[in-house]
Structure 1
Amino acid sequence: MTELPASFWQGVREFQQGRFYECHDTLEALWIEAQEPDKTFFQGILQIAVACYHLGNQNWRGAVILLGEGVRRLSPYQPEYANIDVNYLLDTSSDLLDQLRSIGPERIAEASASLRHQFSEPTPPATPLAIPTLRRSRVQP
């Protein structure tokens, strides 16, 4: 892994702010030009971001498929990669995937409302979700 450009960290900030479409755009530009092993790492994060975007648009199937693909792609990067706590991202993504499978497409509107609440709406959701989170790994001294 080489030193990651500032645009990667911009994509991380966009993800953390729930700006999943912007995160996709930012990281896609990196992914297109990247070499392995960074390429697959970027793709896994992109897929999780797009899954959250689909969730916000009440697209249950798209969210479930892309969460599963993102988790699969990022699994080899555990426990951390590029100063990102991959274990934590995978845990929160897997939790969301389990929740979405549990509620099914019939309750996607509730799940979508929960996602919006976590980033902007003041009204607590009926069904709180575990939203995937990107965070820096804890570097040991």
Structure 2
Amino acid sequence: MTKRIVALVDDLFFQQPIESAAQRLGYAVEFAGPTNDIVAYLVVRQPWLILVDLNTKSVDWEHWVMTAKTSPATRKMPILAFGSHLDAASIARARQAGCDAVVSNGAFMADPAAMIQKHARLDESEALRRQAQDPLPELAHKAIAQFNAGEFWEQHETFETVWRAEPGPVRQMYQGILQVGVAYYQIQRRNYDGARKLFQRAWQYLSVLPDVCQGVDIAQLRADAQAAMAELERLGPERIAEFDPALFKPIRLVEAAQSTQT
């Protein structure tokens, strides 16, 4: 998965150093423009860091930050803002809106790469790859059996026990599957908004996983969840009763040996 930074920055004075520093660190930068759905935009991109120039004019940065930090699907995304040290009002607004850190323009520009490294989310990919080769816990097998039997609420309770007991990054797999299952449950209950939000929440977990994790076919699960969400959005809340339950695809388990090749 591409390591991405989303930047609410429209000044070339900042854009060029940001892009240069990010590329040296292995990040792709996307300079955001206006969008009708901030959460959906961020869910698709899963940025490792959101940069905010407090003097940007192309977007309402305060609305962006508050939206990102109030949605369960995006609130864990770190936000670093920078602005004039003389603009105490904007700095205070940025902190109140939910920015994780606010620094002066001078501090940021002194070493953009160091700022990015310090504030971007922790890279757990190596630890996750190691854990992906472990066998699936017995209780997780039970949760998957419940999921595949259409017991979407029951799998939620079982997976919650599994992920709460797991301190390592592989817990994201259990959380992601759990969220997809509850999204299916909400579709059954004709709860459009609830289902859509749960699909979005699931993506922060599923997007970071290898294609096969502890013998679970994560690539297929991602594709199935995306197809279900696309159909949900196509139908909209008015036609959710027409949702085809055949789209509630079972979770596939593959040979454990394959997980070591991913």
Same-fold call, TM > 0.5?
yes
Larger Rg: 2
Q: Structure 2 counterpart of 1:14, which letter?
A: Q
Tell me which residue corresponds to 1:122: none
User: What SS does the corresponding residue of 2:143 show, helix, strand or coil?
Assistant: helix
In the alignment, is the contact (CA less than 8 A) between 2:217 and 2:254 conserved in 1? yes
CA-based RMSD of the aligned residues comes to: 1.7
Q: For residues 92-140 of structure 1, what are the alpha-carbon distances to aligned partners after superposition, in whole Å with 9 as ceiling and x for unaligned?
A: 00000111111100011222xx32xx4xxxxxxxxxxx22431112445
Q: Structure 2 counterpart of 1:83, which letter?
A: G
Q: For residues 18-70 of structure 1, what are the alpha-carbon distances to aligned partners after superposition, in whole Å with 9 as ceiling and x for unaligned?
A: 11011001111111111121221111111001101111111111111111221
Q: Distance in 1 between matches of 2:195 and 2:210?
A: 22
User: What SS does the corresponding residue of 1:136 show, helix, strand or coil?
Assistant: coil
Tell me which residue corresponds to 1:135: 252
Tell me which residue corresponds to 2:195: 63
In the alignment, is the contact (CA less than 8 A) between 2:224 and 2:249 conserved in 1? yes
Deviation at 1:71, TM superposition (A): 2.6
Deviation at 1:4, TM superposition (A): 3.2
Q: Structure 2 counterpart of 1:34, which letter?
A: E
Matches within 5 A, 1:7-46: 7-46=139-178
Say whether 1:88 aligns with 2:220: yes
Tell me which moved more, 30-39 or 47-56: 30-39
Q: Distance in 2 between matches of 1:32 and 1:87?
A: 24
Q: Distance in 2 between matches of 1:95 and 1:4?
A: 26
Structure 2 unaligned blocks of 5 or more: 1-130
In the alignment, is the contact (CA less than 8 A) between 2:136 and 2:215 conserved in 1? no
Deviation at 1:74, TM superposition (A): 0.7
Residue 242 of structure 2: which of 95, 110, 114 is its match? 110
Q: Distance in 1 between matches of 2:184 and 2:139?
A: 20
Number of residue pairs aligned between Structure 1 and Structure 2? 126
* Percentage of pairs with the same residue: 30
Structure 1 residue runs of 4 or more that deviate by more than 6 Å after TM superposition: none
Tell me which moved more, 46-55 or 32-41: 32-41
Higher relative contact order (CA 8 A, sep 6+): 1
Q: Structure 2 counterpart of 1:131, which letter?
A: F
More helix by share: 1
Q: Structure 1 counterpart of 2:248, which letter?
A: I
Q: Structure 1 counterpart of 2:198, which letter?
A: L
Tell me which residue corresponds to 1:48: 180
More strand by share: 2
User: Which TM-score applies when normalising by structure 2?
Assistant: 0.45
In the alignment, is the contact (CA less than 8 A) between 2:190 and 2:240 conserved in 1? yes
Q: Distance in 2 between matches of 1:78 and 1:93?
A: 16
Q: Distance in 1 between matches of 2:235 and 2:189?
A: 16
